[in-house]
Amino acid sequence: MLNVYTNVFTQMPCLQHIDTAEMYKNEEEIGKGLQELFKSGVVKREDLFVTSKLWTEHHPKDQVRPGLKDSLSRLQLEYLDLYLIHWCACKSVC
C-alpha cells in the first residue's frame, strides 16, 4: 500500500478536495505532499478545497483554536476551507 504522501503527490492535479482529520493521523504527510505540489507548480492552494476535523479532546471552547492551529501546522497551511466537529460515536475509541 502506498503511503499518504505518495498518494497525494501522484493523484494531483486530479484531486481537488482533500479530506483529513487529526484522528486519521495523516495531516503531516498530506502537508508534506501539498507543499511539494505547491513548490513544483502542479497545483495552487486556492485551487484546492481542504477539510479537516476538530477531534473530541479539542471540543471545549478554549481548545478549539489550539486544535485548529495544530492541524494547520501539521498541514503546513494558512487556512482550511472547512473545519468540522469530529464526533466519535464509538465508546471504545473515545
Range of the domain at 36: 4-85
For residue 9, what pLDDT is reported?
60
In a domain, 63, yes or no: yes
Q: Is 94 inside a domain boundary?
A: no
- 90 domain-assigned: no
Q: What is the pLDDT along the chain (94 residues), one digit of tens a residue?
A: 346 666 666 665 566 889 999 888 999 999 998 898 899 888 899 999 999 998 888 788 898 999 999 999 999 999 999 999 877 655 555 5
Residue 92 lies in a domain: no
Whether 49 is in a domain gets the answer yes
According to the model, what pLDDT value does residue 56 have?
81
Residues tagged active-site: 24
The rounded distance, in Å, linking the Cα atoms of 81 and 74 is 16
- Whether 19 is in a domain gets the answer yes
Number of domains in the chain: 1
